[in-house]
Structure 1
Amino acid sequence: MIFVGGVPFSSSSQGNTLVALMEDPILVSAANSFKAIPERKFSVYEESGMDRLTKNKWVYLFQREYGTVDPAFVDCRTSVSHMDSPNIVDMGLSQMLLHVVDHNMDAELDVHLVGGFEDVSPNYAYSSTRSESQEQLDGHSFPLCAKIVEALFTRPENFHVQTLFVLGHNTRRDSEGNAYPIFHGLVVETSTGLVTPACFDRTSRCPDGIVRRIRVTSAYEDPSWSGKLLETYDTQTDQFRIASCCWSFRQKYISLTLQSLSDSEILLRCSTSPSAEAPDFVDNLRREWEYLIEHPDWRETFPRKQPRVFERARDGGWKRC
């Protein structure tokens, strides 16, 4: 069940709960307040105007990953995920809640939904009478956000939506009308539960960034991960335990082909929103392909299907066990 402002939420928009939530005055006000918060920038290395992460404990999550932090290591139990498809929402929520609700269906849980932007015309995405051909124009963000809201609405737990900074609320446009997200990510202060817009440079996305990125794509070919978020962080031990994922030798030949493309061709072929990608998007892809070319057999990366384990170092970073 969904709550807004402490009371149960009921949709009056022809059953379209997402649209009704986007228009709710309390959540509109919360979105405006969130937009006014300066974006925090994180780096492992000391840079002007950036927070140095080595002074803190943090868990960085890539696309399709999730992590739940435990009060034994931090002050507030929090579960965060980066969902990238409606197909993983139902199972993904169950994975996230496993270490949070402790089988207590009366749990009161705050929800912050941040990130998706208006990657299609709002006239299509917000129409309640879309034809089948129009549904193909919904892009990626709207169906995903709609599925998340639907899943929250139908689950037995009590979800208090505090932030809904998606779609039109998280969209800016240039002079030519191209859409971009205002914020790409967030950080949760575990001592207070405060959610703040944030961006992280490459040095802060450790550990094992290349392998974790490869898993995102490879998981779609690995039936053991069908419909699931990728297991990355071990809640009980405060370790990164990057569960194994298989990929085929075909990935090497695909990588060789894509590696020969120009940067602009890579953007058009590999991104769902080419104009909105971060500056290091293409470089990260090339690094993944180089790894797959050098390691076409996934068993080199995950011998005997064992996870890759990293523990915290004294300086707050991560070291391979």
Structure 2
Amino acid sequence: MIFVGGSVVDPSETRSSPSQAGDLLMALWEHPVLVSSSHSFKAIPERKFSVSEQAGSEGSSQSKCVYVFQREYATVDPELVDLVGTDEATTCVGIVIRNRKSGMISVAHMDSPTVVDGGLTQMLSLVHNHGFDAELDVHLIGGFDDSSPKQASHKTRSKRQEKWDGYSLPLCIKIIDALWRSRENFHIQTLCVLGHNTRRDSEGNGYPIFNGFLAETSTGRILPASFDRTTRCPEEIVRRIRVSVSYEDPSWDGRLLETYDTRTDQFKIAPCTWTMRQLHIAMTLQHLSDSEILQTCSTSPSAEAPDFLDNIRRCWDYLIHRPDWRETFPMKQPRVFKRTAGGWARCTQGSSINHPARVDYLVN
């Protein structure tokens, strides 16, 4: 069930059949309370999260942050974590679910309608009360209007909207549909998606206004944010590779990637495998031009961040130099990282969790 401004949203009041999730999305997108919240969110200066903030300045405590990559999720305890966030979203949508009573927060970076139902179940597993009586605040940020300029100029009614091209709209529709069908009470606080998160150039091409956000666990406050490479930790490259290879791994069908252990405040990166076919793809694509890589590997070639190409090339380089996945995941065991004063420390299999075998200080 969905609430806005304290009132339940009745799909029968939308312009079409209650079963049409696209109309429900449009009703929410046009809701005065959510329009106002989008304007307020966009008025907040973007916070650029850096190593200095992660590590803390002299005389101040460090901010304990959990970063979520594409297709990942993390549920955090406010007693253990200060901030949780994600970025690099263009056609993807970031979703925040916070339990008003316990303060537990789950953040996901959803990239496909196929992971919404299963992903929502994963997120709720540690957030809701088992009696299904929790009051849950929800924030949706990302998924800009990636329809073509010609189609974008005719965006007025929801029936037309269902015919537009693009990746963002189907994902947003699926998320709203899943929230509505759930037994939980979801209070949507922010819906900065699609047109609310779009700027256009002189030719009508759309770009996201914001690609990421941070959630402050103590207050539940959400603000626009971006991260640099050194704060997308731990194990940046391996986690990026997991996103790509998981599409061919049936064990991850319909699920978000697990990375973070809520109870221990550790990253436990579940193993993944890559094949000779995926290695061959990496070796082939590395020779393409920048424009060819964008057209081949991105759902929004003109809207990617400046470091997109470097990030994807570093992943290919990793695969080419480590063709055997067992070198990364010996005995198919997860890679475990414990938080330290300077970042994250990796604990090898069999070592004491208090005596990590190797330390990765922020930079992977």
Which bin holds the TM-score, normalised by the shorter protein? over 0.9
Superposition pairs of residues 190-269 of structure 1, within 5 angstroms: 190-269=217-296
Question: 290-299 vs 17-26, which deviates more?
Answer: 290-299
1:13 partner letter: R
2:3 maps to amino acid: F
Find the counterpart in structure 1 of residue 15 from structure 2.
Answer: 13
Deviations along 1:198-232, whole A, 9 cap, x unmatched? 00011110110000000111001011100000000
1:112 CA displacement: 0.3
What residue identity is the alignment partner of 2:208?
P
User: Which of 65, 68, 71 is 1:61 aligned to?
Assistant: 68
The amino acid of 2:4's aligned partner reads: V
Task: Mark the runs of 5 or more structure 1 residues left unpaired by the alignment.
Answer: none
Contact 2:54 2:65 in 1 (8 A): no
Cα distance in 1 for residues equivalent to 2:253 and 2:156: 29
The percent identity for this pair of structures is: 64
* C-alpha separation in 2, matches of 1:200 and 1:28: 26
Aligned to 1:319: 345
Give the distance between the partners of 1:204 and 1:125, measured in 2 at CA.
38
Aligned length: 312
> Are positions 1:70 and 2:89 aligned together?
no
SS of 2:326's equivalent in the other structure is helix
Deviation string, structure 1 residues 35-71 (Cα, Å, up to 9, x no partner): 1110000111x4xxxx455421000000000000024
SS in structure 2 of the partner of residue 105 of structure 1: coil
Deviates more, 1:219-228 or 1:74-83: 74-83
Give the TM-score normalised by the residue count of structure 1.
0.93
C-alpha contact 2:55 2:341 (8 A) present in aligned 1: no
Q: Taking structure 1 as reference, are residues 6 and 103 closer, same or farther at Cα in structure 2, changes over 3 Å only?
A: same
1:23 aligns with 2:40: no
Change (3 A) 1:52 1:72: closer
Q: In the TM superposition, what is the alpha-carbon distance from 1:127 to its structure 2 partner?
A: 5.1
Which aligned pairs between 1:99-118 and structure 2 lie closer than 5 A? 99-118=126-145
Preserved CA contact (<8 Å) 1:309 1:320: yes
Q: CA–CA distance in 2 between the matches of 1:104 and 1:67?
A: 22
Give 1:176 deviation, angstroms: 1.8
Give SS of 1:82's match: strand
Q: Which residue of 2 aligns with 1:35?
A: 42
Q: CA RMSD in A?
A: 1.7
The residue identity in structure 1 corresponding to 2:171 is L
Amino acid of the structure 1 residue aligned with 2:9? F
Show the counterpart of 2:2. Answer: 2
Give the conservation status (yes or no) of the 8 Å contact 2:279–2:320. Answer: yes
Mark the runs of 5 or more structure 2 residues left unpaired by the alignment.
57-61, 83-102, 348-364
User: When the two structures are superposed, what TM-score results if normalisation uses the length of structure 2?
Assistant: 0.82
Q: d(CA) in 1 for partners of 2:126 and 2:49? A: 27
